[in-house]
């Protein structure tokens, strides 16, 4: 499948969908505390997406080839869960870290973003992992520009993660996005600078590094969706949807409650 270049009209729809995605995470943030279940978080996000935003939660009943339909509206990945954690009766407790990943569809277009949240006071190790992963996200975003290569993104992310003693999950990657949930190109979070497709204005894709405190190995749980670290080490992920502009990039999933880009990272 070719990489689609979005029209101005499509870009505007993606701006709306992206903003709504960020606002779902803003809305749920005050509820994320010890004692809440991941199913309750899912319901809060679902109801806000459907009833307030008039949007559709893309993950609900999403069924790519070889998978059973995903049963919930968001993903909640706790501690050593890497991605695609299925909300359920798990009660969050003090010290947990959780990634919440949302993808509302508005007027046929997808906005995709995720953030890490702390339950109470995390360990120093957990806080550092989340911080380095956040920096990996923004370092990847910082090299998005017309004429650059997709491989530039993964290369800078891998270097920062490994320089800090962490590993990069290789089986899952960022992706093109628009009217389709998952489009070309694939955005790996490792690799070699100067390789891969050339970035062009109008491309839109996610950058969503999954960084493990231990080794990069992962395995799938019996539910067919939840991915965990093989060595039970902590994992963290942050995600934004990014537009390649004529002069650089635009992050489409920013919202009022978003944590800002680290000051030391320059485009």
Average pLDDT in the 98-121 region? 98
Dihedral sign of CA atoms 211, 214, 219, 224 in order: negative
Measured in whole angstroms, the distance separating CA 143 from the mean position of its chain's CA atoms is 18
Average pLDDT in the 121-131 region? 97
Tens-place pLDDT, residues 221-242: 999 999 999 999 999 999 999 9
Domain range summary for the chain, segments of one domain joined by +: 8-60+94-251
Q: Is the pLDDT of residue 55 over 90?
A: yes
State what percent of residues in the chain have pLDDT above 90. Answer: 97
Q: What local confidence, expressed as pLDDT, does residue 183 receive?
A: 97
Q: Is the pLDDT of residue 66 over 90?
A: no
Q: Is the pLDDT of residue 165 over 90?
A: yes
Tens-place pLDDT, residues 94-104: 999 999 999 99
The three-point CA angle 197-201-205 to 5° equals 65
Q: What local confidence, expressed as pLDDT, does residue 169 receive?
A: 98
pTM over 0.85: yes
What percent of the chain is helix, strand and coil (3-state, nearest 5)?
A: 25, 25, 50
Please name the CATH architecture into which domain 8-60+94-251 falls: Alpha-Beta Complex (3.90)
Average pLDDT in the 118-129 region? 97
Return d(Cα 85, Cα 223) in angstroms, integer: 9
Q: Is the pLDDT of residue 1 over 90?
A: no
Q: What local confidence, expressed as pLDDT, does residue 267 receive?
A: 75
Q: What local confidence, expressed as pLDDT, does residue 112 receive?
A: 98
Q: What local confidence, expressed as pLDDT, does residue 207 receive?
A: 98
Mention every residue, 6+ apart, whose C-beta is less than 8 A from residue 83.
Answer: 75, 77, 99, 101, 169, 172, 210, 227, 237
Q: What is the layout of strands, in order, in the sheet containing 97-102? A: 75-78, 97-102, 113-118
Q: Are 27 and 48 in contact (CB under 8 A)?
A: yes
Q: What local confidence, expressed as pLDDT, does residue 43 receive?
A: 98
Q: What local confidence, expressed as pLDDT, does residue 113 receive?
A: 98
- Mean pLDDT, the chain, whole residue set: 97
């Amino acid at each position: 499948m070719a990489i689609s270049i979005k029209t101005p009209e499509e870009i505007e729809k993606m701006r709306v969908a992206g903003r709504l995605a960020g606002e779902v995470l803003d809305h749920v943030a005050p509820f994320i505390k010890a004692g809440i279940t991941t199913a309750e978080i899912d319901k809060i996000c679902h109801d806000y997406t459907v009833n307030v935003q008039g949007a559709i939660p893309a993950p609900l009943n999403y069924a790519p080839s070889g998978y059973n339909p995903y049963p919930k509206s968001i993903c909640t990945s706790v501690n050593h869960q890497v991605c695609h954690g299925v909300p359920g009766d798990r009660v969050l407790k003090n010290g947990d870290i959780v990634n919440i990943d949302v993808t509302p569809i508005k007027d046929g277009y997808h906005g995709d973003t995720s953030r890490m949240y702390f339950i109470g006071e995390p360990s120093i190790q957990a806080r550092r992992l989340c911080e380095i992963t956040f920096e990996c996200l923004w370092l990847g975003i910082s090299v998005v520009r017309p004429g650059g290569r997709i491989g530039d993104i993964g290369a800078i992310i891998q270097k920062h993660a490994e320089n800090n003693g962490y590993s990069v999950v290789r089986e899952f990657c960022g992706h093109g996005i628009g009217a389709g949930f998952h489009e070309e190109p694939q955005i790996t979070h490792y690799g070699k600078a100067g390789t891969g497709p050339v970035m062009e204005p109008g491309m839109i894709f996610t950058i969503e590094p999954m960084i493990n405190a231990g080794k990069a190995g992962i395995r799938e749980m019996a539910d067919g969706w939840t991915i965990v670290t093989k060595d039970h080490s902590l994992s963290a992920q942050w995600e934004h949807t990014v537009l390649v502009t004529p002069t650089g990039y635009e992050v489409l999933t920013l919202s009022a409650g978003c944590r800002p880009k680290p000051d030391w990272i320059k485009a």
